[in-house]
Structure 1
Amino acid sequence: AGGLGRAHCGGGPRAAALLASGRVKRGWVWNQFFVVEEYTGTEPLYVGKIHSDSDEGDGSIKYTISGEGAGTIFLIDEITGDIHATERLDREQKTFYTLRAQARDRQTDQLLEPESEFIIKVQDINDSEPRFLEGPYIGSVAELSPVGTSVMQVMASDADDPTYGSSARVVYSVLEGEQHFTVDSKTGVIRTAVADLDRETQDRYEVVIRATDMAGQLGGLSGSTTVTIVVTDVNDNPPRFPQKMYQFSVAETAPVGTAIGRVRAEDSDVGENTDMTYQVKDEEGVEMFKVTTDSNTQEAVITVQKPLDYESKKVHTVVVEALNKFVDPRFVDLGTFRDQTIVRVSVLDVDEPPEFRPPSSLMEVQEDAHVGSVVGVVTALDPEPAKRPVRYSIDRSTDVERIFDIDANTGAIVTGKVLDRETAGWHNITVLAMEADNHSQVSRASLRIRILDVNDNPPELATPYEAAVCEDAKPGQLIHTISVVDRDEPQSDHRFYFTLAPEATNSHHFSLLDIK
């Protein structure tokens, strides 16, 4: 009874209401006013009305407001209490305004009612489109992934009021790229739509995702974003040699470890899925050649593992196999995930020096051999097909005293001086063999010559002996024991026999006992 405010309603775009409870002695209780945002009319927008029951319409009561926007955004008619909005409001910038209402005596300016607070709430319209705020979006999915594999999630934000209508209710759809990907309309989760994504065919997709508010209904606003989806590699391609045969050449004198050439298997995959390992598959190739992998270039490096010989074999055929270092058993049978190629290695002929056969030897000669006696024969042959004649000589740095000579044409070793085993029992000399028409092609062989003993040295006293005997020595008394040595062989197994010299046999004072 006698309340200050009454509920007022408007119609159309000016619709607003002011709801006030009945006046009580302790003051007023105000409800909210509502004003639609983005009003585009030419006249101020009617918001609502404050009114006192004591107002008899004679203008004695003056209505005023204070608070947010009072006097600028919101104006009040002091006589009628009508409130209008003079500016276009945006709910996304400010959702409500808090004001206070006063009813005063126009003459005395005294409050007729306690001051009361009320709220003008800006009512939302669908004027904000969904926006993707976290872009750019980049996702990835492995090639050959099954249908429905989750790629990533996108989310759009709508600045409209989520509590009022469907203005901020967003649904998602694929605008471009629907042949390969789908999007969950509610969650924004992007998934694969096909199972045959092939990185080697196409390694990325640009998918356009659209977000529409009003739950996707006609008239809803929409925004879009482009999602880059990278297709990552799996090892689904075997290595393949671009050629089924390669040809290399190498000199027969190439030392062990010499690189002959490189071959490389190609792989359509990327990263570690292209890492290769190579091996020689045939028995002959394994013996003669070695293959390793260059980790930087993924090439097979073929090297010499055993000395080559043009005269023995002019061409070697090597089977090289390539296989991936990391194999994914999900996609391919291991038995087919490799490839082979043939490498033909041609051995180039090189003018080589004569070869001693055997490369070194042992000869023996008796120490009493006459000068010019043949000790033995060394043989060296030209390994080349031309079979050039060979000439022989002795490296005199190994036979300074010229104890031996050699026949330049036959290789026969002969004595050049009288030999004495007791002076030197062994001789080590170096024999040279060279092509007759090219002395730069020379080879060397070590020759050991053993001097055989003959019994050409008599026994000798082991040491100088001097004996003494007392004049009263009894017959049979031992005076001395005599030992002898012999410089001939064998040093430890000689058997000596002792007798008195003929000139001493006439002496009856001494006798000799041979104790063997």
Structure 2
Amino acid sequence: MKLGKVEFCHFLQMLALFLCLSGMNQAELSRSRSKPYFQSGRTRTKRSWVWNQFFVLEEYMGTDPLYVGKLHSDVDKGDGSIKYILSGEGASSIFIIDENTGDIHATKRLDREEQAYYTLRAQALDRLTNKPVEPESEFVIKIQDINDNEPKFLDGPYTAGVPEMSPVGTSVVQVTATDADDPTYGNSARVVYSILQGQPYFSVEPKQGVIKTALPNMDREAKDQYLLVIQAKDMVGQNGGLSGTTSVTVTLTDVNDNPPRFPRRSYQYNVPESLPVSSVVARIKAADADVGPNAEMEYKIVDGDGLGVFKISVDKDTQEGIITIQKELDFEAKTSYTLRIEAANMHVDPRFLSLGPFSDMTTVKIIVEDVDEPPVFTSRLYSMVVSEAAKVGTIIGTVAAHDPDASNSPVRYSIDRNTDLERYFNIDANSGVITTAKSLDRETNAVHNITVLAMESQNPAQIGRGYVAITILDINDNAPEFAMEYEATVCENAQPGQVIQKISAIDKDDPPNGHQFYFSLTAEAANNHNFTLQDNKGDVTPYLSGAVNLY
């Protein structure tokens, strides 16, 4: 006959109750027969009560009060002259006593897990005098445990992690179940563990609850998470024991057991030749089944004719290889490049080196596309010179530009008038010859910086720019000027030969060897013999002075 949980508990209750009743004589209160407590009211000899521990089965399910035991004194002759009194824990509220017979009953359902025992005090009184006939003494009612509590995982559900590819027997996590039943009595609190779900990948140690790996080479990339159901059963796992379960989510953590792999053996990208330096040409990515640091990689160009023209770096966020231009592209010079690119893991696990190299190679071909480029001047800056005395129409120099495209379209020239507002110069539209258009004055503007435009005849939108610096050469076209208006004073008693004023002159021209000034008095001043002028005879000092002497 198979018993359910409730029926089994009732069976245990009745069995324990039978055992308690069969041992009632040992549980009754008796006194020692050798020494009377009263002798004729004159001699008082102390007699001790002999107490045995009372037991009561927990979780009693009956409707009548549960018999616990009996208090009895040998003084009691059964004539009703003795009454029994119960006090202490649970007296009257849980335990009642028949004051005539001393029978003790429990009136409530008891739970050992709430309170394991009760300490009470018993008295036997003379009903007429209300005086004790026995000394008051304590006794204990112990609540007898039954298996009424299933094991519980107080810390569940659990989560844990274990590295993939771990060897069999690697510890994952320990689970612990608690049983509220009495661990000192029987097997009600003796728990064993078993795994209900999670085989054949994991196992559990029956006594300690340690979960371990049970299969070798579990691969995170194939399955990264497992849900285990662990059972804890009391009564040492025997039939009739109570059980509880918990779940354990085990995640396989990543190890670097996968090398990077390019999805394709070759790639091809088209880029215009006008793409600026540092521009991104392409993004390529090697796939790596690992995650986190184990999937981090670096890229490098190991071979090809594009070394030095292109470079590759890694995007830390996406782990892509970014190919960028290092030098300007020119379709007319080279139309394609081939790069041999390697992707390699940055953090290699030595345990898996036997699987092969943790790197991969691919080929990237870059096709340079022709674009309609503007004309290009033969020099980035032209330097020219012309005398300020040059006549209008004088040829100063020539600029030259050409169409770099294969079509080699004819070029027409013009001057950007924003750089020649006064229109000092002209340029021949076909030949690029620059001539003077106005008289030049070095003293007004010594250098003219102009921009020359070169425009494709077939596509006027394509315009190249050249830069011309025209230096104006000086001629002696300016007379000397005195530096200032001079006014001199002299004392009437000045001595002959005394210097009374120094004078100097300036010239707007800029002769290559510097200025040489000669000073003299005008004709009308030369007839005045009171003053003389002393010249320095062409001293090359920019500012010369003359001395006037008074005789």
**1:110-149 equivalences in 2 (<5 Å):** 110-149=131-170
Alignment map for 1:170-185 (pairs within 5 Å):
170-185=191-206
What's the CA shift for 1:325?
4.4
C-alpha contact 1:204 1:228 (8 A) present in aligned 2: yes
Residue 31 (structure 1) aligns with: 52
Report if the CA contact (8 A) 2:162-2:253 is conserved: yes
The equivalent position to 1:161 in structure 2, one of 182, 191, 195, is 182
Deviation of 1:33 after TM superposition, in Å, equals 1.0
How far is the alpha carbon of 1:490 from its aligned partner?
7.2
CA 1:388–1:111 in structure 2 vs 1: closer, same or farther (change >3 Å)?
Answer: same
- Conserved? CA contact 2:17–2:57, under 8 Å: no
Say which is worse superposed, 377-386 or 62-71, in terms of deviation: 62-71
Normalised TM-score (structure 2): 0.71
Q: Please tell me whether the aligned partners of residues 153 and 187 of structure 1 are also in contact (alpha carbons under 8 angstroms).
A: yes
Aligned-partner Cα distance in 1 for 2:206–2:251: 22
Q: What do residues 462-484 of structure 1 show as CA deviations (whole Å, max 9, x unaligned)?
A: x9xxxxxxxxxxxxxxxxxxxxx
From the superposition, tell whether residues 42 and 15 of structure 1 become closer, same or farther in structure 2 (CA, over 3 Å).
farther
Shift of 1:190: 1.6
Tell me the equivalent position of 1:104. 125
SS of 2:263's equivalent in the other structure is: coil
Question: What corresponds to 2:367 in structure 1?
Answer: 346
Read off the aligned partner of 1:263 and give its amino acid letter: I
Matched, 1:14 2:26: no
How far is 1:322 from its partner? 3.1
2:278 paired with 1:269? no
Task: Look up the match of 1:231.
Answer: 252
Q: Secondary structure at the match of 1:287?
A: coil
Deviation string for 1:319-344 (max 9, x for gaps)? 44333444444434798223333333
Number of aligned residue pairs: give it: 470
Q: Does 1:222 align with 2:243?
A: yes
1:442 to 455, 463, 466: 463
The answer for the alignment partner of 2:207 in structure 1 is: 186
Confirm or deny that 1:309 pairs with 2:330. Answer: yes
CA contact (8 A) 2:299 2:341 kept: yes
Q: Quick one: which of 64, 69, 93 aligns to 2:114? A: 93
Amino acid at match of 2:130: D
Worse-superposed segment, 105-114 or 369-378: 369-378
- Give the one of 306, 312, 335 matched to 1:291: 312
Residue pair 1:285, 1:316 contacting (<8 A) in 2 also: yes
Cα offset, 1:158, TM superposition: 0.8
For 1:104 and 1:431, how far apart are their aligned partners in 2? 135
C-alpha contact 1:241 1:341 (8 A) present in aligned 2:
yes
Task: Mark the CA change 1:40 to 1:419 in structure 2 (over 3 Å): closer, same or farther.
Answer: closer
CA distance in 1, matches of 2:130, 2:416: 140
Q: Is the 8 A contact 2:447 2:470 kept in 1?
A: yes
| Residues 229-262 of structure 1 deviation map (CA, whole Å, 9 limit, x = unaligned) | 1222223323333333334333322222333343
Q: Is the 8 A contact 1:19 1:32 kept in 2?
A: no
Secondary structure of 2:119's counterpart equals: strand
User: Post-superposition shift, 1:207?
Assistant: 0.9
Deviations, residues 97-117 of structure 1 (Å, cap 9, x unaligned): 222222222343332111222
Percent identity between matched residues is: 57
1:291-344 deviation digits (Å, cap 9, x = unpaired): 343334333333332222222223333344333444444434798223333333
Which residue in 1 is equivalent to 2:87?
Answer: 66
| Counterparts in 2 of 1:124 and 1:399: CA distance versus 1, 3 Å | closer
| Aligned residues of 1:15 and 1:35 also touching (Cα < 8 A) | no
Rounded to whole Å, the distance in 2 between the matches of 1:162 and 1:426 is: 109
Q: Distance in 2 between matches of 1:385 and 1:96?
A: 108
Relative to the length of structure 1, the TM-score reads: 0.75
Q: CA deviation at 1:437?
A: 3.5
Q: CA deviation at 1:168?
A: 0.9
Deviation of 1:130 after TM superposition, in Å, equals 1.0
Do the aligned residues in 2 keep the contact of 1:15 with 1:46 (CA within 8 Å)?
no
Residues 1:251 and 2:272 aligned together? yes
The 8 Å contact of residues 260 and 288 in structure 2, kept in 1 or not, is answered as: yes
Deviation readout 1:428-464 (Å, 9 max, x if unpaired): 65443222233332212234567999xx99xx99x9x
Give the aligned partner of residue 233 of structure 2: 212
- Contact between 1:172 and 1:184, CA under 8 Å: does it hold in 2? yes
Partner SS, residue 266 of structure 1: coil
**Distance in 1 separating the partners of 2:446 and 2:95:** 134
Segment drifting more, 238-247 vs 112-121: 238-247
CA deviation string 1:67-99 (max 9, x = no partner): 334445434344443333344432222211222
Aligned to 1:387: 408
Partners of 1:392 and 1:432 within 8 A in 2: yes
Deviations 1:143-174 (A, max 9, x none): 22232222222111111111112211112122
1:10/1:279 Cα in 2 relative to 1: closer, same or farther (>3 Å)? closer
Distance 2:93 2:58 in 1: 17
Q: Which amino acid aligns with 1:18?
A: A
Are the equivalent residues in 2 in contact too, given 1:172–1:186 (CA < 8 A)? yes
Question: Which secondary structure does the structure 2 equivalent of 1:336 belong to?
Answer: coil
TM-superposed deviation, 1:407? 4.1
Q: Which amino acid aligns with 2:377?
A: F
Aligned position for 1:409: 430
Counterpart for residue 355 of structure 1 = 376
Alpha carbons of structure 1 residues 316 and 15: separation in structure 2 relative to 1, 3 Å: farther
Q: CA RMSD in A?
A: 4.3
Gaps of 5+ in 2: 1-15, 36-44, 483-508, 515-551
Equivalents in 1 of 2:194, 2:239: separation in Å?
Answer: 14
The SS at the match of 1:273 is: helix
Whichever residue aligns with residue 27 of structure 2, its letter is: L
Alignment-mate amino acid for residue 183 of structure 1: V
